[in-house]
Structure 1
């Protein structure tokens, strides 16, 4: 007998894609779903339709959604995002020879702005999906802000809770400008698009927003054309500490003004927890999950940990401080405090993920006092990113954390609801899903109101 080759790690275990799109109603629940929760919990992630992909980041996007109403889990459904890549195959140029910004997997995040629900990936336009009652997460199509967007859109836009504006950027390309900053108003109209001068195409996954500033992270994970052209290659980026690392600050009230750059120690950051202005506006505080290096084949992998950066706009310096030494990722706050001094932040830990037994937990940091609380899942149960669902109208007040949890012992997944203020307590509710939810990236609680 011929021995079959083992599947790649990103196609094995709970990284493996699921083959079916399902719709199920009246899901079984252990515990009690808070009756205040009426809306959708949606999470996006890669799920290659042909069950093959050269890298975890490249699989076609699939959104998994659970509908909550009046203390019931009324339905579950999962749907591929029907991008042009999904329907026509991977391509770089459209039929007219132009760069095809509709081509991409739309597999990284799902957000709502100005009445639209958007599935995002940083290499292309977003795709709108339909979450209206009676609809089943169907793909509406690519969204280019009425023809005004001419770059890709980051998977991590920021909504200002005060103005309702959506701030985002696009990066990439073989020629300058490698970075463009965008802003859409509360109605969804794109009102600002300006290039930002950076010396090379670096992998810029996230950025930061405060009440007065936008902060870009220009870090030394640099595009490598040779790797991009290699057949069957993986991520076309490599660690290059000689490039340097810096933070770029732009005033929100002068979106076409100068960007001030502040050097920091070489590192990499996929995700920021939050950022805010401090003092009289002469300091900016950022919390990030920081890697000492990334995509460095000659260096042993080291996980991200929580750090604080404090930018002194007068002195032109950055103070860098590690907050904790436990590995973590997927940092989140109450989104109603994005860009404000949020007291609490939440991260996910999954030590050993993809490399053996997993110890999974959700961790809550009190960023004011330094206190730490965690919910430790039983062995073999692994959480993903946890989205915050508020319990009332008070920003920073009580609420719940919602996350998909994979159980390696049963091969099943649940939607788990935890009380954010009593995180160590048993789950408020565990909603049992009709099929496994593969490990994925980001999602949101989208209330009806």
Structure 2
């Protein structure tokens, strides 16, 4: 059974003789209906251990028009898996005040609730959040009978007074949620936050930086938090994107000890570059912090990102920078139970962005200890989005599956593909056939149902 809903004020863009811009064409184009479908057909077998939601967020402008891929209204696409069945698919816009009332970012009427919540979906302390880095998180409801409905903006009981990054990190040891917020107007331009395992905001600490920069991600280790102050500087005078590449600003990494969250931030210079996404970071026990990133040489996107390793020497004050691969790849992920620890395996998606040269769709699995990689090729015209790890048991960095939406250009539809993480070169374990295409988006997670009594 399939049901659809089209919000009354969401209408397709008027017809035009000119071609749409790349971020509104092909599978970057938005879908204009909310849909629910049950008992999805499957090729292969869904692992019976998987019971929960696979959720992924992305931009989907309600009026089918936006100035840039980054700016579309958030839409969460979810597949419900239970006991070997693909129970349902549904997609829902996140009902932010921007979506419901047309209040844009920076409008005083909306404050930090004004945003598009289009970048990520995470869970902490029993709450599920849709995130974008310019505003408060928005809570969405994943309970039976309330699937993916918007609850509203969340400010940690009034304690959060900045925006929240779309890339918070959960410490697997303490259960704490580490994150930051940046500001583009007045200082402080950067604030570090920490919420405890129960969801109470316990630390909010301003960090002094020379100017407002687009800090999309950061790093967490067992002992440190590492910020990336890179030369993508906000410029409110810009007629287009509100930031510009400024190599004269420099590039540096800021290290803060977790056991002294209000203490000194040490800064370490690196070569100018840009990083949207970190893979992972860890302390090596010998005075070094090891970080893996998907690195762009500049933010002009003339060269694709590749996997790099940075090693911060806390004793010498220097950073060793090493390119690990020349294969293009973005959206790096690990088994999140290894966040901040010495993860052996990481995964990067190979696919082109809006207007870029097409790349053969693939998922690359790195053995960071052995320095090797394996690859899953999805085939002609099949383009994957980011893959999330779903564990098979309680062994971190152990067996599990990788879940990703994959667009099939020949059929103009999408599948949820499930791969065996231990050998991604093999055919998919299962391919869940969705009732419609899922536009290319950003980030998501496998969210297993809580254990009974948890």
Q: Is TM more than 0.5 here?
A: yes
Measured after TM superposition, the shift of residue 353 of structure 1 is 6.1
Return the offset for 1:98: 6.8
Q: Is 2:313 aligned against 1:312?
A: yes
CA distance in 2, matches of 1:433, 1:444: 18
Alpha-carbon offset, residue 357 of structure 1: 4.4
Match of 1:103 among 114, 139, 144: 114
Cα 1:352–1:128 shift into 2, 3 Å = closer
Residues 200, 417 of structure 1: CA spacing in aligned structure 2 closer, same or farther, 3 A cutoff?
same
Q: TM-score, with normalisation over the residues of structure 2?
A: 0.94
Confirm or deny: 8 A CA contact 2:34 2:92 kept in the other structure.
yes
Gaps of 5+ in 1: none
Equivalent runs, 1:350-361 vs 2, <5 Å: 350-351=351-352, 354-355=355-356, 357-361=358-362
Contact 2:54 2:80 in 1 (8 A): yes
TM-score (norm 1): 0.95
Answer yes or no: is 1:367 the counterpart of 2:368. yes
Partner residue of 1:199 out of 203, 210, 217: 210
Are positions 1:237 and 2:250 aligned together? no
Q: Where does residue 403 of structure 1 map in the other structure?
A: 404
Q: Equivalent residue for 1:83?
A: 96
Corresponding residue number in structure 2 for 1:15:
28
Alignment-derived partner of residue 380 in structure 2: 379
Matches within 5 A, 1:20-169: 20-92=33-105, 97=108, 100-169=111-180
Structure 1 distance, partners of 2:102, 2:144, is 31
8 Å contact kept, 2:103–2:110: no
The answer for the alignment partner of 1:286 in structure 2 is 291
Q: SS state of the match for residue 254, structure 1?
A: coil
User: For residues 55 and 355 of structure 1, what CA distance do their matches in structure 2 show?
Assistant: 14
Q: CA 1:274/1:122 → structure 2, altered by over 3 Å: closer, same or farther?
A: same
2:337 counterpart SS class = helix
Deviation at 1:136, TM superposition (A): 2.2
Deviations 1:169-196 (A, max 9, x none): 0002211110000000000000000100
What SS is found at the alignment partner of 2:351? strand
Secondary structure (helix, strand or coil) at the match of 1:57 reads helix
Structure 1 stretches of 4+ with a deviation exceeding 2 A read: 90-94, 351-358
Pairing partner for 2:261 from 245, 255, 259:
255
Separation of aligned partners in 2, 1:98 and 1:15: 31
Asked if the contact 1:15–1:438 (Cα under 8 Å) also holds between the matched residues in 2, the reply is yes
Give the superposition deviation at 1:364: 0.3
* Gap change, CA 1:120 and 1:430, over 3 Å in 2: same
CA 352–155 in structure 1, closer or farther in 2 if over 3 Å, else same = closer
Q: What secondary structure is seen at the aligned counterpart in 2 of 1:78?
A: strand
Return closer, same or farther for 1:176/1:98 CA change in 2, 3 Å cut-off.
Answer: farther
Cα distance change of structure 1 residues 442 and 132 upon mapping to structure 2, 3 Å threshold: same
Deviation at 1:164, TM superposition (A): 0.3
Q: Residue in 1 aligned with 2:422?
A: 421
Distance 1:35 1:152, change over 3 A: same
| 1:297-338 superposed Cα distances (whole Å, 9 cap, x missing partner) | xxx611100000000000000000000001100000000000
Q: Say how many residue pairs are matched.
A: 436
* Structure 2 counterpart SS, 1:53: coil
C-alpha displacement of 1:355: 3.9
Q: Which runs of 5+ in 2 are unaligned?
A: 1-14
